[in-house]
Amino acid sequence: MLKNGKILVVFIGLVCIVLLPSAVVQAEARFIVGYTGDDWFAGIQGEHRSRSLMGFIGYQEDVVSGLVALTNQAPKPLGYVQAGREVFLGNIKYSVEAYGGNPDFHTDLLAGNRLGIRGEYKQQTGKQAYGIAGELNLLGKPTLKLVPYLEWRSTGVLKAHLEAGTESIAVGLDYGFALSPQAQAGVFAAYDFKNKALDYGARLTFAGGTLTGAVNTETGMSLGLAWKGAECPFAAGIRWQQKVQWYASYTWKM
């Protein structure tokens, strides 16, 4: 009887842990320096992340982040601000994010400023998944992009997508697979019918970092490396495409 009572208490405790609202909140700031290919820059980045459980296996994560930096010659502001939510419920996952500035700052320091919203919806059915991603930009020339896609999972993940929008009409394939428990690899290719450009390349993701290489018939070759240690406050990234861009940052928890 006593043993059964202990089991019941443990079971109720586990159910309460799963069902009661809970949230993990993280806030951090980063000091960042780098080189755009033309100018040096320095700035501050902040991020607030909150994750709460939904049911037995679901979660909701809210992220607000922003970065502001200044270049050293003819001071020019760089950076972005964005706020988004990601929800996972069993076999369904969706996200939405609003942004202003350059949300692709960490992959291209001088990518054009934008103001808009982007989102994604994905549903898993066994070893297959389907979904759609989209983006609406309102800054300057309004642009719209929709990307429906299909995924197949076996020893790796094969993804086929169609991109249709005001700037491009393209089809593409992406195949990712595991090299080891600590390393993932992938190859990708896409053809843009509107701009008559072929983009293809490969990537390698290892502990804390991602190495990418791509060739585009219009913009040429590019290489990129991003690294962020799980328990290390330092992070760094470097990108080469005609010019070399790089950044390094130091993070402290708040």
* pLDDT value of residue 5: 45
- Domains, the chain, ordered by start: 2-253 (2.40.160)
Whether 17 has a pLDDT exceeding 50, the answer reads no
pLDDT number for residue 22:
54
Cα 76 from Cα 39, distance rounded (Å) = 9
**Under 8 Å CB-to-CB from 161, ≥6 apart: which residues?**
147, 148, 149, 150, 171, 172, 173, 174, 190
- Tokens for 228, please give them: 């962020």
User: pTM value?
Assistant: 0.83
Span 203-248, pLDDT tens digits: 999 988 999 999 999 889 999 999 987 778 999 999 999 899 999 9
Residue 104 burial class via C-beta count within 10 angstroms: exposed 0-12, middle 13-18, buried 19 and up: middle
* Predicted confidence (pLDDT) per residue in 89-115, tens digit: 989 999 999 999 999 999 899 988 999
Residues 6+ apart with CB under 8 A from 128: 150, 151, 152, 153
Residue 140: pLDDT band (50, 70, 90) is confident
Q: Taking residues 142-162, report their average pLDDT.
A: 96
DSSP string covering 76-98, please?
-EEEEEEEEEEEEETTEEEEEEE
